[in-house]
Each structure stands twice: as C-alpha cells, then as structure tokens.
Amino acid sequence: MKTHTFWFVQLLAVVCIFAVGSIPMAYADAHEAGEEMAEEEASSASGWFRTDTDSLGTQIWVGASHSPSFLGGLSLDTDIYVVGTFGELDVGLGIPVVDSDSLSLSFLPMVGIGFDYAAPNGPSSLIAPQLFTYLTAGSIYFESWIQGFFNSPFDYGDDSIYTRNFLLLSLNDTLSVGPQVEVTLDLTNGGLGGLAPGLRANVGYGENNTLGVFVGFETQKEDEDTGITGRMTFVRTW
C-alpha cells in the first residue's frame, strides 16, 4: 500500500511539473498567434503621405485605408489635410468596382470637416460632398476629384465646387504624361471661379514614391497676371 502511494505521489508530481512547465509554452504560443493576427490585421491597412505646393501654399496630407473583413471588400479611408493654421479631417468609404490585372476602377466618396486653429471658433468649413475616382487600364491612368466647400455657414468665406481631372499615359516604368484640367465653380457669387487646363507629368522617384508636376493656364486671371499656374506634388505610399 505504501509502495502504491509512493508511486502515485511521484506520478502526480511529474504531472504537476509538466502542467506548470506548459503554461509559459501555451502563453508563448498564444502570444505568437496574437502577433500573427495583428500582422494580418496590420497588413490590411495601407497608408500614404503627400505634400502639395500651389496657390494655397504648401499643404501636407496623410491618409490610410483600412480593409476589415466585416466591410465585405470595402475600405474605410481617412486622411488629414493641413495648410497654415487650417486642418481638415476626411472620412470615406472605398468602393472597388473592378480589380484585375488589366483593369482597376474604384470610387471613394468622402465627407470632411475643417478647422482654422488661428481662432478658437469651432468648425470653419464643411467639405462635402466629395467623390474621388481612380481608373487604371493598362498604360492609361485616370483620376478625378469632385469636392464641395461650404464655408458661409461658419462665416469663413465663400462656397464653391472644385474638380480636378487628369488622364496620364505611362511611357515607361518611370514617366507618365497627359492633360489635366481644374475647375472651380463659385456658388456664392455665381459663375466660374477658376478654369486651368494644362499638362501633367508623374515621375517615379524610387519604389512607392511619385513626383507630380502640373503646369496650367488660369483663364480666369487678372489682367496684369500671366495666367501661368500649376502645382508640385510628392506622394509616398506604403
């Protein structure tokens, strides 16, 4: 009886030792699985940084696109836009229509709210509706912006509709060129606030980097102005 009890105690001790020893192993496995899930979740998000210099000054943009499984193929897109003391937050829903090796088409409707932090006076602008269209068909790339700016409800300025459209032909892996036109409709005073047709070139600056240069002619210019206008853009994606 004592012999059986002795072996039972030994067996129980061995079981306890293995049980205790397996705790950190189980924790490590769970932690590793959690890291793998986090990596999978992180991989579903893409981001971008952009800087523009044009008639508004130098502007900074940072944005991201998240594709959680519960959205069913759609993406949740956000960005911030900063120029001077003005900051803007945009939120939208990415809608892929076609996504293949030869053709890609997606729409991105967004709404935004802007604040001028020079004075603690609440919102300054409602930037809505917004619609961005992206089309890639072989060596052809088309991009369209449509944005509404409603400032008068906040006593911040005039209201307008702005659109930017360009069509680029890829000449090689580095250079794309094509026409671009920008139009501003003055909703407060009526009429055309701006119309600038011109040419655009996108140059690859290494992996995931693009430099864009737009040179246009502003038809709604003052008499003493030459009308030559444009924009320099740098974009990095990851």
- 152-203 pLDDT, tens digit per residue, is 999 999 999 999 999 999 999 999 999 999 999 999 999 999 999 999 999 9
Residue 93 to residue 128: CA distance in whole angstroms: 14
3-state SS assignment for residue 238: coil
The whole-chain average pLDDT of the chain stands at 88
Query: For tokens 């659109």, what's the residue?
Result: 163
For residue 27, name the pLDDT band (cuts at 50, 70, 90).
very low
Q: Which pLDDT does position 26 carry in this prediction?
A: 41
For a pLDDT cut of 70, what percent of the chain falls above it? 82
Name the DSSP letter for residue 206: S
Contact 86, 124 (CB under 8 A): yes
Least confident span in 29-43, 47-61, 142-156: 29-43
How many angstroms separate the most distant Cα atoms in the chain? 113
Percent of the chain with pLDDT over 90: 81
Q: What is the pLDDT of residue 43?
A: 52
pLDDT in tens, 62-107: 999 999 999 999 999 999 999 999 999 999 999 999 999 999 999 9
